[in-house]
Amino acid sequence: MSATPSLPFLRSDTAPTGPGEVLLGQMPLTVLVGVTGVGKSTALAALDGPEQRVLPNRREVTDAVMIWPQVGRAVSDREERFALTAQYRAAHPGGMAQALGSLLANTHHWGQAPLFDGLRGLDEIRYAAQTFPEWRFVALGAPDPVRVRRLLGRSDGFDVIGNSETSGNLRSELRELKGVSAVFTPTELDGLAALEGPDCAAADILAKVRIVLSERRQYDPAAAENFLQTLPPVRALIVDTVALSPAEVARAVKAWA
């Protein structure tokens, strides 16, 4: 069986279905919902097990289905990626949910009820819930300043953004970022600027704030969570990853699953 590049045992549905192949849109997926830095890795670790295998993540599906077909190359800069995925959503209103649901999965490899990390924003979540009735959702949330701090505390080579050099006045540069007042209060920005020090470079803080802002221009976590609250509890679990410790998040997810 041929496979979509970088997506093992998954492929587009352009060819006839082979033995053991099922559309992901027809399978009982458990889908993690949340933007960068909300703690999806903790929930994923709680759910992962022999009965549920973890599909290639959002980043990998984005590369194979959305970005390579558009530009024919890898793209690491987060703002450029957000722009390209926005172009994909303009033609495919379901965004990642539409891309994922259209893939054929070899169930001999992925099993009958795999996990996916993850979906973002109202449009994707609503499309997924209404189009794929077998899918279930675990939504994780955290305030934007917490997300910035979590990005600063992790070593992920994917957290790359261009042109984040600073002029020496981080507070001023943070307050001048486009759209920043709609996401962060002046007090929150002062708190983030105060993180600057020997172990936390100003350029890194500026880059992580820009990542959060770029993502928030594309996705509204609150709107997605509000929609999920309209679903039956058996289909949606909403977890506050600040109010709960990582261990408590894991226990809540396991109890729901």
What is the domain count for the chain? 2
The answer to whether residue 15 sits within a structural domain is: yes
pLDDT band at 4 (very low <50, low <70, confident <90, very high): very low
Phi-psi region of 104 (alpha: psi -120 to 50; beta: other; left: phi over 0): beta
- Specify whether 131 is located in the same domain as 237: yes
pTM value is: 0.81
Confidence check: pLDDT of 246 > 90: no
What pairing do the DSSP bridges indicate for beta strands 103-106 and 21-23?
Answer: antiparallel
Are residues 224 and 121 located together in one domain of the fold?
A: yes
Instruction: State whether 206 and 224 are in the same domain.
Output: no
DSSP alpha helix (H) spans, the chain: 40-47, 58-61, 68-71, 78-91, 95-101, 107-110, 121-131, 144-152, 170-175, 186-193, 202-218, 221-228, 246-256
Structure tokens at 151: 């990005």
The answer for residues whose C-beta is within 8 angstroms of residue 172's C-beta and 6 or more apart is: none
Q: Which domain holds residue 101?
A: 10-143+220-247
Is the pLDDT at 51 greater than 90? The verdict is no
- Domain with 97 in it: what CATH number? 3.40.50
Confidence of residue 138 (pLDDT cuts 50, 70, 90): very high
| Residues 197, 153 share a domain | yes
Mean pLDDT for the stretch of residues 136-151 = 93
Residues 120 and 231 in one domain: yes
Q: Do 172 and 182 belong to one domain?
A: yes
pLDDT at 63 over 60: yes
Same domain, 212 and 224: no
Type of residue at 24: L
The mean predicted confidence, pLDDT, of the chain is 87
> Does residue 253 belong to any structural domain of this protein?
no
What's the pLDDT score for residue 257?
80
d(CA 52, CA 34): 20
The pLDDT value given to residue 205: 93
